Amino acid sequence: MTTDSAAQHTPASAEFLPGPVLLLGAPGVGKGTQAQLLMAAFGIPQISTGDLLREHVENRSQLGIRAKTLMDSGQLVPDEIVNGMVADRLTRGDTLPGYILDGFPRTEGQAEWLDAKLPDLHNAPPLVAIKLHVATEELLRRITGRRTCPTCKRIYNMYTHPPAITGICDFDGTPLQHRSDDTEEAFYRRMAEYDTKTAPVIEHYRAQSCFREVDGVGSLDQVEHRIIVALRDLRAHVPLQLAPVSH
């Protein structure tokens, strides 16, 4: 991919930097895909706690070893370890122009930790939060309608993007698969967990006036454009105010 195509693709411009961005929203709302697009548009990293966890375990860092011991015995990795990994990641220089947090903070406790931590971090500007909103009924269709081809890995949707012959891949004729966690029951279980844990995180940032809700229904480009408009608007109210770097 050339920088030319990235520049044409996006209404973002070189002089605008988004700073730290938190992407929020229910499971299946398209956060991961939009995070990828924003990374390309602004040249900033995406910070995902899942990736950090894998990296620390692979590198056998102190935090990684503690996390692996807990996971091996079937326990959840506590906030303290996850927060430590995020803190470590945010000290790397590539986060200075901004970054996208995906899947963190997931709980109100993590959000409070991050609020307290950011001012301590080298040159850390304030965070802005974007919530992608898609109606529950639409999310259910997106998830329960999803079918994948085990041969070419193409993804279909029975409702919005069906193959020509029901249940058969257009490209190689392989019967499509329905993943067991793409059922209605699994969807409502994930939504209930999201409502309990993450809805308070949304209220946390909404109360700080650094929050916008963006309509997540439409083409990828349309949704990306709405997010960038919201980011510019948020940064007009929550400026980056980058302090001069002192050594």
Q: Which of 71, 94, 165, 171 binds Zn ion (CB under 5 A)?
A: 171
CA distance 10 to 85: 31
Q: Residue 155 phi/psi, 5° resolution?
A: -110, 130
Q: Which of residues 131-150 bind Zn ion (CB under 5 A)?
A: 149
Per the CB < 8 A criterion, the answer to whether 139 and 36 are in contact is no
The one-letter amino acid at 171: F
Q: Looking at 51-59, 104-112, 164-172, 225-233, which segment touches Zn ion (CB under 5 A)?
A: 164-172
If one asks whether residue 176 binds Zn ion (CB under 5 A), the answer comes out as no
Pairing of strands 46-48, 98-102: parallel
> 178 vs 237, which CB is nearer to Zn ion?
178
If one asks whether residue 173 binds Zn ion (CB under 5 A), the answer comes out as no
> 151 vs 222, which CB is nearer to Zn ion?
151
- The Cβ of residue 89 has, within 10 Å, a number of other Cβ atoms equal to 21
Structure tokens at 59: 């590198």
Min. distance of Cβ 166 from Zn ion in angstroms?
A: 14
Structure tokens at 146: 């999803």
CA distances from 39 to 5, 125, 159, 228 (A): 14, 18, 29, 12
Min. distance of Cβ 154 from Zn ion in angstroms?
A: 5
Strand partners, 148: 155, 177
If one asks whether residue 151 binds Zn ion (CB under 5 A), the answer comes out as yes
> 46 vs 148, which CB is nearer to Zn ion?
148
Min. distance of Cβ 167 from Zn ion in angstroms?
A: 12
CA distance 233 to 16: 11
If one asks whether residue 169 binds Zn ion (CB under 5 A), the answer comes out as yes
Q: Which of residues 73-102 bind Zn ion (CB under 5 A)?
A: none
If one asks whether residue 161 binds Zn ion (CB under 5 A), the answer comes out as no
The one-letter amino acid at 58: E
Min. distance of Cβ 160 from Zn ion in angstroms?
A: 18
> 65 vs 155, which CB is nearer to Zn ion?
155
Strand partners, 22: 101, 129
Min. distance of Cβ 149 from Zn ion in angstroms?
A: 3
Q: Residue 45 phi/psi, 5° resolution?
A: -80, 155
- The Cβ of residue 66 has, within 10 Å, a number of other Cβ atoms equal to 17
Q: Which of 71, 76, 152, 192 binds Zn ion (CB under 5 A)?
A: 152
> 36 vs 174, which CB is nearer to Zn ion?
174
Active-site residue numbers?
Answer: 31, 106, 146, 179, 190
Binding residues (CB under 5 A) for Zn ion: these are 149, 151-152, 154, 169, 171-172, 174
